[in-house]
Amino acid sequence: MSDHEVVLPPPSATPQAAELAPALALWLQRLHAAGLACQGVALHAADAAWRAPFERADVADAWAEARARVTRDSPVALSRVATGELLVATHLALPSGHPGIVGALLSPPHNDRSLQLLLLSLGWLQLTLSAASLAHNQRAAELLELMGHVASQRNARAAAQDWVNRTAAWARRELAPASALQLSLFEARQDRTHWWVAADVSHAETASPAVRTAGEVAQRAYVEGRELTEAEAWALPLLDQGEVVAVLVAQGELTPAALQVLRTSAALAEPLLRHWRAAELPLPRQTWRALRRIGGRLSGPGHWAWKVGAAAAVLMLAVLVGVPVDDRVTAHTVIEGRTRQLVTAPFEGFIAEALVRPGDRVRQGQVLLRLDDRDLVLEQAKLRGERDQAAGKLRQAMADRDAANVALASAELQGSEGQLALVEAKLARTRLVAPMDGLVVTGDWVQQLGGPVELGKEMFEIASEGYRVVLHVPERDIARVRTGQRGVLRLAGQPHEGHDFEVSRVTATASVQDGTNGFRAEAAWVGEVPPLSPGMQGVAKVVVGKSNLLTIWTRESLDWLRLKLWQYWI
């Protein structure tokens, strides 16, 4: 069955209006039986369902004038019409709790007894209307109780079975005691009605006479698309957007009250059962039904919004598949100097003076930083004294022609000179100088004067004047990047302007950035080089070929799916 709401014909009148006319007719009969010559009765209320005007049009103005004079302080209004009748208007409490005004047109002669009998009979009218309203409320409560039992079932078939059982029992109470009623529900599938459930039976042979008879009536109601009433058989087609989706068949002698029960119960319960039934269908069948509905809207009359949407989707798909565009690889980019050199600490010591900071341009041989040399100067003076003493000893031994002392003094002198040369070499390296012309990229020591440094610690990085583009190409795209391919780069500091480049080298150096494994590629500028500084970052897009938009947008997802299938398939 479909997924839309059931469409049933609206009732001819509201429950209040349906009970009002019979109640007023019986009241008029009772007035005649009491000896009152009443020419007509009427009722007026704020709710249109509780209005019944006089049949005579010539008393309409008098009736409106009498209603206007009925108030809380003056509950009864009397008025004579042109033909001599007396129009009596008075209050009446309606079953809904709202006030109403009832009127009666009495023929002459008029006396107090006639008026008293009329007012006394109003109690009977009010009791009759209240009883009718109570019956409606009881039927509504029973219907809600029935739906509560149906909704508590576990699946669609059990709910349908419970519904037909309880609906049949309810309808039988509206029949004569000896009357029988058999109720069946048929589904409409593939232009045929198929038996689903029946009252008081859990299973039925589809070839049995009872099922075949009910099925023939259901099929006729399905083909004609309207309610059928035949000899001891009645069928109600349940519609969804004008299409029959189910047929309710009743067999037996039905009264109008029983038919009203069946119609009301079907209108409320069938949509719930239909949605329940559709939800239990396998996914392929639900998909097929959805495709059939869409195909019907596209091929049938009307539904222009669907047709325009489908045409737009086809046009968009044609653009996505048929129009070639540049296939580009996106890579994180860093600007580096063409040549980079590091200046490291030659020995352990303390910073005495920092002469440059990152961003300064330096010349080759320019002093960048000076280490504290006071201890080395003292050690130099000490070693010079030791060297002079060793030289004096060597001269004395040579004057004495003492070969043994000459050898000892000579060895002592060489040791002193070696230590002195080492200290002097350290003193020469206390001044860190620029190895080449360029820009200081790293090494801000101005705020760390007096701080210790370790042997081999990186103090400065100097970059040459030329620049190169370093790309971090994601691992999934590295196979498509080749030397000679061109692209466009936008820097974070200059997002409004693109710069052309050409890939000059693809290396096997891997690194992880922002949780993505990638490989290093280098590129050279094409055309004018913008104002740059080493360390600037941006995003580059390398053109690796031509492809359609659909392939470009789905490549990453398809590659991930292929990898997962390969990972878990075997």
Residue range 392-419, pLDDT digits in tens: 877 787 877 777 777 887 887 788 788 8
pLDDT digits (tens, 9 = 90+) for 168-213: 888 888 888 778 888 999 988 878 888 888 888 877 666 678 788 8
> Given a cut of 80, is residue 128 above it in pLDDT?
no
| In contact, 90 and 56? CB cutoff 8 Å | no
| In contact, 30 and 263? CB cutoff 8 Å | no
Confidence band of 7 (pLDDT split at 50, 70, 90): very low
pLDDT digits (tens, 9 = 90+) for 378-397: 878 888 887 878 788 777 87
Confidence band of 373 (pLDDT split at 50, 70, 90): confident
- What amino acid occupies position 324? P
Confidence band of 134 (pLDDT split at 50, 70, 90): low
Q: How many residues does the chain have?
A: 570
Domains of the chain, residue spans:
15-139, 153-281, 342-460, 466-553
> Given a cut of 80, is residue 265 above it in pLDDT?
yes
Is residue 33 classed as helix, strand or coil in its secondary structure? helix
Q: Which pLDDT does position 539 carry in this prediction?
A: 93
- Tokens linked to 551: 């392939």
> Given a cut of 60, is residue 361 above it in pLDDT?
yes
Question: The dihedral of CA 504, 510, 514, 516: what is its sign?
Answer: positive
Asked, colleague to colleague, whether 15-139 and 153-281 share their fold, the answer is: yes
The percentage of residues in the chain with a pLDDT greater than 70, rounded to a whole number, is: 94
Does the domain at 15-139 match CATH 3.40.50? Answer given as no
Q: Which pLDDT does position 485 carry in this prediction?
A: 92
Quote the CATH superfamily of domain 153-281.
GAF domain (3.30.450.40)
Quote the CATH superfamily of domain 466-553.
Efflux pump adaptor protein, beta barrel domain (2.40.30.170)
Nearest-angstrom CA–CA distance, 341 and 437: 10
563-568: list long-range contacts, CB under 8 Å, 24+ apart.
Answer: none
pLDDT digits (tens, 9 = 90+) for 37-68: 888 899 998 888 888 899 888 888 899 998 88
> Given a cut of 50, is residue 14 above it in pLDDT?
no
> Given a cut of 90, is residue 460 above it in pLDDT?
no
